[in-house]
Chains A and B, each alone.
Chain A
Amino acid sequence: MTDMPDSDNYELTISAVVENIPVILKFTKGILNELGFNKHDSFDVQTAVDEACINIINHGYEKEESGDICIKVNNSADAFVISIQSYGKPFDPETAAKPDLTSQVSERRIGGLGVYLIHQLMDKVSYHYSDNVSTLTMIKHRNV
């Protein structure tokens, strides 16, 4: 695990296992607090990061294959830019199943909801796959 904050760039590399989700969220929350993002923006980013990482853990790496997640944060004056890299099979959030937002509780499936939330909570989301590296980049503009 590396954790190297300098003035405006932060990076964390950690094993892609569900037990590390709280570590990833604490890392992200610490940066958001340090950069002075308000609690609503912080809440949104935390949820989006959780959804992105659990997708990588559940779909990006096969069960017998373990790998790393690398999280990079760049801060600019008006936006929080977070890139999440993984090295498993490509998982494009755009191709994930669409969520079921209408059926009765007894029939409700929650699959696909995570990706939907990422798009709702973040201002810009893009996915890139190249040389066995998947990169999901999410941007949240700063609300005052």
Chain B
Amino acid sequence: MKFDSKKDKEGNLCFDFKKQNDILVVTMSGSMDSQSASEFAKVIDEKLNSGENVFIVNLNSLEHLSSAGLRNIVIVLKKLDTLGKKMFFVSSNEDVNRIFKMAGLYNSLIKIFDAEEAAYNAIK
């Protein structure tokens, strides 16, 4: 499966990766909807298989987030928890954060940092 690393003009869900020290930063853009949301779990599975242990997931550029997106995030977190691996989220996107808050996930079960630097500092 190929994931386009550049932001898609059509608003499709895209993933961009950068490695910083031992942390894999995953930047998502486009629409995390009922059709595309499961791609997140597939992408993270691939990265786990290639040996990644710590993830920062940046949600700033998401244009849409539905309950299927939240469900996939929770599924991934449960799996990482079982494996003893870590994932931190970054979002200063008020629409995305509003969905997390409505679902009761914002900074309760899922810690969301407002900037990548804050997430790095928390990991150190």
Q: A interface vs B, CB < 8 Å?
A: 18-19, 21-22, 25-26, 29, 39-40, 43-44, 46-47, 50-51, 53-54, 57, 99, 101-102, 104-106, 108, 110, 113-114, 116-117, 120-121
Contacts and interface: CB of A to CB of B under 8 A. Distances in A.
B104 A21 contact: no
Interface string B66-79: 11101100100110
Contacts, number: 79
Contacts of A22: 12, 31, 33, 35-36
Interface string B1-44: 00000000011100000000000000000010111100000000
B35 A21 contact: yes
Contact-residue bracket for chain B: 20 to 34
Secondary structure type dominating chain A contacts: helix
Contacts of A110: 67, 70-71, 74, 103
B46 interface: no
Secondary structure type dominating chain B contacts: mixed
Contacts of A46: 31, 63-64
B63 A26 contact: no
A116 B36 CA distance: 21
